[in-house]
Amino acid sequence: MANLRAIGQTITLGLMRKLVHRPRRLRRTAALRNLVRETKLGTDDLILPLFVSEKISERHAIPSMPGVFQHSPDEIVDAARTAQDAGLQAIILFGIPTEKDERASGAYAEDGVIQKAVSAIKSKCPDLVVITDVCLCEYMSHGHCGVTRIDGEHFHVLNDASVALLAKTALSHAKAGADMVAPSDMMDGRIGAIREILDTNGFEETGIISYAAKFASVFYGPFRDAAESPPQFGDRRSYQMDSANAEEALREIALDVDEGADIIMIKPALPYLDILSRARQRFGKPMAVYHVSGEYAMVKAAVEKGVVEERAAVLEIMTSLKRAGADIIVTYWARELAQWTRS
């Protein structure tokens, strides 16, 4: 031992300058590390996505997303209450209707799956922040996020006709009692149209979370199982963003801020930390990020194979999202995180 120390000293004296700064001093114990930790993750930062389906009478597991379920309309209030009991204060709802058509009628029906779920949840859990996803894909027979027109081989998703239906949908959610609406379609001008229709109908207090920079991503795969919304033809690249474009993302965000978005969302999460960080610095708006189904499924698969430990992996990922600039994280782990961040 004495010998080893002597060897260490010889090496040190031989190779190192006298150190004044030793950053490791602050990493020596857990308490010291806690004292200087810059990024803290808490339950208030989280939003839990919940799926409600008119097609089922009891909850149904989503095979590609272990631990995530579609809930029946009768069970959705319990699912919301369980989230609140776990300490969460916000959920975002996605609906699966029985009937789909080419006008997405179920999206804005007064007695639609979301409208009924929102009013049931708000009557039982009035303090829970209820956010609704506003899109048409789950309600369209073709699975696209807007109204389509087919010319021979080509199909188009019509912007302005889609915006009209999205605005109508957002208004119906506000009428049902949603605290915030979250348009995820990526049509141009929808934030302004939604703000306008909400304001002219007396819903000035209903907020808008804009999926301002939503990238066409391979990581949405499992969600389409959960929301039963895969496009029947074509893909979504004519409206969702190209993953290569950061400047364009910032322009998209600037437009949404200008049109009245209250919170800006980036989706997916980990592959887009640069966008999150740049948007955080440029816009003085609360920033949200959606850690999506494919990102969730990847970690779950790694956990199953024994490659990583779930809790540590999830905490590291979520902390990185906060560190990059997210104020709010939408995650399928919200309930578990409510526990993990407390203990």
Token pair, residue 269, equals 């999460």
Q: Does 135 help bind Zn ion (rule: CB under 5 A)?
A: yes
Is 275 a binding residue for Zn ion by CB under 5 A? The answer is no
Token pair of 204, please?
């000035």
Please report how close the Cβ of residue 137 comes to Zn ion at its closest, in angstroms: 3
How many residues bind Zn ion (CB under 5 A)? The answer is 3
User: How far apart (Å, rounded) are the C-alpha atoms in residues 43 and 265?
Assistant: 18
Count helices and strands in the chain by DSSP H and E runs: 13, 12
Among candidate residues 100, 116, 122, 267, the one labeled active-site is 267
Q: Name the residue nearer to Zn ion (CB basis): 161 or 273.
A: 161
Q: Least CB distance from residue 110 to Zn ion, whole Å?
A: 21
Q: Which of 137, 140, 191, 265 binds Zn ion (CB under 5 A)?
A: 137
Whether 122 is catalytic is no
Cβ–Cβ contacts within 10 Å for residue 97, how many? 21
Count of Cβ atoms closer than 10 Å to residue 177 Cβ: 17
| Contact indicator for 129, 180 with CB cutoff of 8 Å | yes
Q: Of 274, 289, 75, nearest to 182 (Cα)? A: 289
Q: Considering the complex, what minimum distance in angstroms separates the CB of residue 267 from Zn ion? A: 11
285: annotated active-site residue: no
CA contacts within 13 A on the Cβ side of 32: 7
Q: Give the sign of the dihedral formed by CA 279, CA 95, CA 62, CA 238.
A: negative
Q: Which is nearer to Zn ion, 145 or 180 (CB)?
A: 145
Q: Which residues in 209-248 contact Zn ion (CB under 5 A)?
A: none
Shortest reach from residue 195's CB to Zn ion, in Å:
20
Rounded to whole angstroms, the Cα distance separating 185 from 267 reads: 12
Looking at beta carbons only, is 169 or 341 nearer to Zn ion? 169
Per rule CB under 5 A, is residue 145 in the interface with Zn ion? Answer: yes
Determine which one of 100, 214, 300, 322 is catalytic: 214
Q: Is 165 in the site for Zn ion (CB under 5 A)?
A: no
Q: Cite the active site residues.
A: 214, 267
Q: In the complex, which residues of this chain contact Zn ion (CB under 5 A)?
A: 135, 137, 145
